[in-house]
A and B are shown apart, each in its own frame.
Chain A
């Protein structure tokens, strides 16, 4: 099979890994602050701001409720505006970030909300400002849960990336569908799938180990 000789799979694995990791990273740059804002401005949060919480929550919900495959084709034209092209890996990273950031925001929100209310109260009693509580209590105390969330988000984004591969950009998804499915080369599909499983397993294993190592509650 030619695909092996040309190093297509090797390139596919590389493209998938770097696009997924880069998208996840950028999605966190946007989603992490959003998630923190969502949790602290909640009516049970340390700094309730009803209108801000409602607005961000509403926007996040809109993006979360559109299936990725539809969102992707809908926003591809916008990719040209933001990253200069609606083709290839750059456009694909754009669509992945748009789809993943709201997802990440909700993941972060739920991790932050798990932090023990008593600990927050103690920090307030010691004269910590709201920003200090975010920096020194909420994020560090939620760290293990945030890491687990990041692992789940990464795997979800990996799933998105396979779909995105059908219309823009490369990676294992594109190989499986364009080179495998459309040419009825089933061994290509199987190999792509196998490689995807291996990548997921590695992300899962490494991520969970980091989370466990960082959690001082277990011991």
Chain B
């Protein structure tokens, strides 16, 4: 378990002190995928670097499996870090080493015998689907392939935790999806606890169990992804979940409804059924849904025309099929 207690980080610069993190309290449970989302400059990269002490917090405790690692000496800290893998937005592979030697690197550091390290590296390259590229150099790989190598490298020492700092931000949507699926698989199959830093809601809602929304150096809200998704309390969470451009002028008297798909069977024609059974011709203002393993995830904003009990009829139907919704203002 990773616990951050009252964490504060202040950068002293020539132009004055900058408070990057303020009184952060956070707890990541074993076996979960925890997301930290925020706009750039919110402090999320600093936050994830405090977990393995690449940045030393000015105040507060970083407790990993019951031990406050800010109190460890240098040697002990190196050992703790070997139990926390990390991947980055810029991949950060050693440019002068080929793929398999990159994956072997953490094992070399840990003093694993060469043959054993090679076998382990091959195993991992198979896992990430790059068995045929072990002799290639990073410059010969695509972004997605580089991140796969980085993931294999991060997992080489069998770490309990994996930190992902904007790991998909430099990748195109398809590659992002495949990397996210790989992370999910690693979490399920090996029980690796994953902390994901991102500015993209889709990353959070496709793999995370819980999420913390960070804004202006503090945690604005945190909770289960579905809860935050259905009922975002903070302005920043609303902004991140719902693109601002959606909000256009409302015609007086009309109501809008945001409906949330968080694992509905995607085969079900929800909107058509809604219109047929309620008799209200709703208008789809915005839709962002996707199908993952036959389940629908995402949200839609429906405009409900003015009229007798239209709103009630629609919500009654939504209630009857147990679909989550909230009124948009």
Contact = CB atoms under 8 A, between A and B. Distances in A.
A122 B95 contact: no
Contact of A119 (B82, B84, B93): B93
14 contacts: A116-B95, A118-B88, A121-B88, A125-B52, A125-B81, A126-B85, A126-B109, A127-B78, A128-B109, A140-B94, A140-B96, A141-B94, A144-B96, A216-B98
A124 interface: yes
Nearest to A124: B54
Interface in A119-169: 119, 121-129, 132, 136-137, 140-141, 143-144
Contact of A136 (B52, B79, B93, B108): B108
Contacts of B289: none
A183 interface: no
B119 interface: no
Contacts of A140: 94, 96-97
A138 to B, nearest CB: 11
A127 to B, nearest CB: 4
B50 interface: no
A217 B94 CA distance: 10
Among B86, B98, B109, the one with the most A-chain Cβ atoms within 10 Å of its Cβ is B109
B139 interface: yes
A213 interface: no
Given A141-B96, A216-B97, 4 more contacts: A116-B90, A126-B106, A128-B78, A136-B105
A136 B109 contact: yes
Interface residues on B, range: 35 or more
B29 interface: no
B96 A127 contact: no
Contacts of A126: 81-82, 85-86, 105-106, 109, 153-154, 157
A137 B94 contact: yes
A141 B90 contact: no
B295 to A, nearest CB: 35
Interface in B39-67: 52, 54
Interface of B: 52, 54, 74, 77-82, 84-86, 88, 90, 92-98, 105-106, 108-110, 137-140, 150, 153-154, 157, 163
Nearest to B81: A127
Contacts of A132: 109
B92 A122 contact: yes
A74 B209 CA distance: 72
A123 B54 CA distance: 11
Contacts of B82: 126-127
Given A136-B105, A136-B109, A143-B96, A122 B88 contact: yes
A125 B91 CA distance: 13
Contacts of A137: 94
A118 B95 contact: no
A125 B97 CA distance: 18
Contact of A216 (B74, B86, B95): B95
A116 B105 CA distance: 17
A119 B97 CA distance: 12
A123 to B, nearest CB: 8
A7 to B, nearest CB: 44
Contacts of A144: 96
A216 B139 CA distance: 7
A83 B84 CA distance: 53
A216 B98 CA distance: 8
Contact of B94 (A119, A127, A218): A119
Contacts of B95: 116, 119, 141, 216-217
Nearest to B110: A127
A120 B183 CA distance: 24
A219 interface: yes
A65 to B, nearest CB: 28
A116 B109 contact: no
Contacts of B154: 126
Contact of A127 (B106, B137, B153): B106
A215 to B, nearest CB: 8
B86 A125 contact: yes
A121 B46 CA distance: 13
B34 to A, nearest CB: 18
B94 A121 contact: no
Contacts of A136: 105, 108-109
